[in-house]
Amino acid sequence: MVKLNELAIIGVAAAATTVMSCSSAKQEYASYELYPVRSGSLTEMEYTPASTRFTLWAPTADEVRLMLYEAGEGGHAYETVAMNAAEEGTWMVEVDKDLKGKFYTFNVKVNDKWLGDTPGINARAVGVNGKRAAVIDLRSTDPEGWQEDRRPPLASPADVILYEMHHRDFSISPTSGIEHRGKFLALTEQGTKGPEGVATGIDHLRELGVTHVHLLPSYDYASVDESRLDENKYNWGYDPQNYNVPDGSYSTDPYTPEVRIREFKQMVQALHRAGIRVVLDVVYNHTFNTSDSNFERTAPGYFYRHLSDGSFADASGCGNETASNRPMMRKFMVESVKYWMTEYHLDGFRFDLMGIHDIETMNEIRKAAEEIDPTVLIYGEGWAAQAPQMPEDSLAMKANVHRMPGIAAFSDELRDALRGPFNDNKQGAFLAGLPGSEESIKFGIAGAIRHPQVCNDSVNYSKAPWAGQPTQMISYISCHDDMCLVDRLHASVPAITPDELARLDKLAQTAVFTSQGIPFIYAGEEVMRDKKGVHNSFQSPDSVNAIDWSRKALHSDVFAYYKSLIQLRKNHPAFRMGDAEQVRTHLEFLPVEGTNVVAYRLKEHAGGDAWGNIVVVLNARKEAAKVTVPEGKYTVVCKDGFISEQGLSTLYGPELSVPAQSALIVYK
């Protein structure tokens, strides 16, 4: 290895920018599969006050330069250092001076062409807009008490209750009463109040009772200019730029690299102290740019899949798809997940378009993450935007979830059976009183596992069960990239009244929270948020996306219902048995006459529940429904939009009457 001080004479005779020479280690490979794999960590910058070592994997490079800068943007490199060819396709150099506070990029030359500046594929600190990586001491970013931070306890994945949120949506409205609106720090503030004194922020989450917050992409993404935040530019963040550093737009200072890192850690620390785990939405399936991406400027072609004509494949619908099946991309993904768990103490990951990744990679990620925390939560979208360039039986598609133990996928079967198909906002289903979705709802209630009473031939999308365990299914009715529930009900139920809207909203979430899958809600649904009817609000302004916290008081009955549903699930293991055999043994669907009613019984102290026999009826009809149950005396705990575990009233079998457009839950 050549160190900079050994060649200090270079630069004396040169002008502002100098380049050290070294022999080229140009390599030619017959295929991507023959590229060398870097062993050990993929770390690219290792800082000490005495020296900083830089290492870049660029196996096809003719030359590689390290560019050193005083600032994160603007100006020219004050020094250019030639890197030296090393083992396993890497290039290395060690600079023997204290570089703390400086910035750097790499420039790789391939086939006599300089590819352009890149912070590398594994930058862990960056300047504004992520164009240059930063030299920092990561330990200086740890907030007070960080070493004592601990994950809240989690006995089983069946105990998880997910809450998906976007930083701006959750806190940007003045009605939130939060000081650091739209920032990581918004989730550190306690005692915040909205209109009529309602709890907001982290206090709201604690009051609601969720166990996990699912953060939409919070790594450094490209579509928001961090230097012009006054423009109110909005994006969900599915535009990856630097995968292993928080995004600057959610920090109070995007120019100082340490700030975004420290504030992200403060957020995690505050949520952990509140008893809430943190899930990060990760988007390894594509990059924002293709030809100018950090991957392409480092090892051209390697990190992406291609069509037969050599052009970039596009299973993501965003211009490219990454090649998780290639060893270095797989290694990158595994290390990235491990890094977020160790450096930022994250507790789980949601994989965007997980179906683009291969099964082997996802299983390796699960294994590596479990070595850090066996209770880590991993789930994703079991589909792709278009067909990926790999055989379907090798991909992490929903149909293959049973081959990925400990990894879950979203159930669009239950979602669309309740509210209608994804591709037609005006088309309703069960909630709109349309027949034909009952079997798909039963499929979701059972947790997408094999159940003797579910006729898979009549299920909307999956003609076979795909989950090995019920905890491999995410149960939901809405999320960020679709109409929120209120808007969907307005669109699909003509002339819906406010009373009907609240009734159907509660009915929908009763199906979600009594399902044996893992329940998931979109932030603000519990206060009946709307998005002005916008289906794909990824670039809509705050006026569309922000949660209006005055709705919490306005719809206090809906919030109370959600809160009580969550508490009901927590208190009664019958709703979260977590084991396929237990579900097949104790979950019995009851016969009903006609359509738009689903009824089932959780029998014989299911899951060890103190309540011996629980009956749940979901009635989407506009009139009361009659359901036959075993003889006996039943205590009503949920009826007509109200929940009380102490009991609302008493009913007697063998016939129960269920009010229109509502759920009934009783126990014997």
**292 labelled catalytic:** no
pTM of the model: 0.95
Structure token digits, residue 242: 């630097």
Q: Can you give the pLDDT at residue 13?
A: 28
Residue 32: pLDDT over 60: yes
Instruction: List, in sequence order, every residue forming a beta bridge with 658; answer none if it has no partner.
Output: 625
What would the pLDDT profile of 112-146 be if each residue is shown by its tens digit?
A: 999 999 999 999 999 999 999 999 999 999 999 99
Sequence-distant (≥ 6) Cβ neighbours of residue 644 within 8 angstroms: 564, 637
Residue 2: pLDDT over 70: no
- Round to whole Å and give the CA distance between 490 and 619: 19
The C-alpha torsion from 375 through 376 and 381 to 386, rounded to 10°, is -130
Residue 398: pLDDT over 50: yes
Structure token digits, residue 38: 């870097």
CB atoms within 10 A of CB 141: 20
Q: Can you give the pLDDT at residue 230?
A: 77
The candidate with the shortest Cα–Cα distance to 607, out of 628, 652, 576, is 576
Instruction: List, in sequence order, every residue forming a beta bridge with 193; answer none if it has no partner.
Output: 199
Sequence-distant (≥ 6) Cβ neighbours of residue 89 within 8 angstroms: 27, 35, 36, 38, 57, 58, 59
What would the pLDDT profile of 81-122 be if each residue is shown by its tens digit?
A: 999 999 999 999 999 999 999 999 999 999 999 999 999 999
What would the pLDDT profile of 307-347 be if each residue is shown by its tens digit?
A: 999 999 999 999 999 999 999 999 999 999 999 999 999 99
Residue 23: pLDDT over 50: no
Cite the beta strand spans of 89-161 per DSSP E.
90-95, 103-110, 113-118, 133-134
Q: Can you give the pLDDT at residue 1?
A: 38
Structural contact between residues 615 and 666, judged by C-beta atoms closer than 8 angstroms = yes
Ordered structural domains, the chain, with CATH:
4-118 (2.60.40.10), 587-667 (2.60.40.1180)
Structural contact between residues 335 and 282, judged by C-beta atoms closer than 8 angstroms = no
- Round to whole Å and give the CA distance between 182 and 47: 32
Options 381, 416, 482, 505, the catalytic residue? 381
Options 239, 296, 352, 438, the catalytic residue? 352
Averaged pLDDT score across all residues of the chain: 95
Structure token digits, residue 264: 């992200």
Sequence-distant (≥ 6) Cβ neighbours of residue 256 within 8 angstroms: none
User: Can you state the percent helix, strand and coil of the chain, rounding each to 5?
Assistant: 30, 20, 50
Instruction: List, in sequence order, every residue forming a beta bridge with 519; answer none if it has no partner.
Output: 475
Say if residue 217 is preceded by a cis peptide, omega within 30 of 0.
no
What would the pLDDT profile of 481-509 be if each residue is shown by its tens digit?
A: 999 999 999 999 999 999 999 999 999 99
**314 labelled catalytic:** no
The candidate with the shortest Cα–Cα distance to 586, out of 556, 611, 553, 562, is 611
Q: Can you give the pLDDT at residue 4?
A: 37
Q: Can you give the pLDDT at residue 165?
A: 98
Structural contact between residues 313 and 320, judged by C-beta atoms closer than 8 angstroms = yes
What would the pLDDT profile of 638-651 be if each residue is shown by its tens digit?
A: 999 999 999 999 99
What would the pLDDT profile of 151-201 be if each residue is shown by its tens digit?
A: 999 999 999 999 999 999 999 999 999 999 999 999 999 999 999 999 999
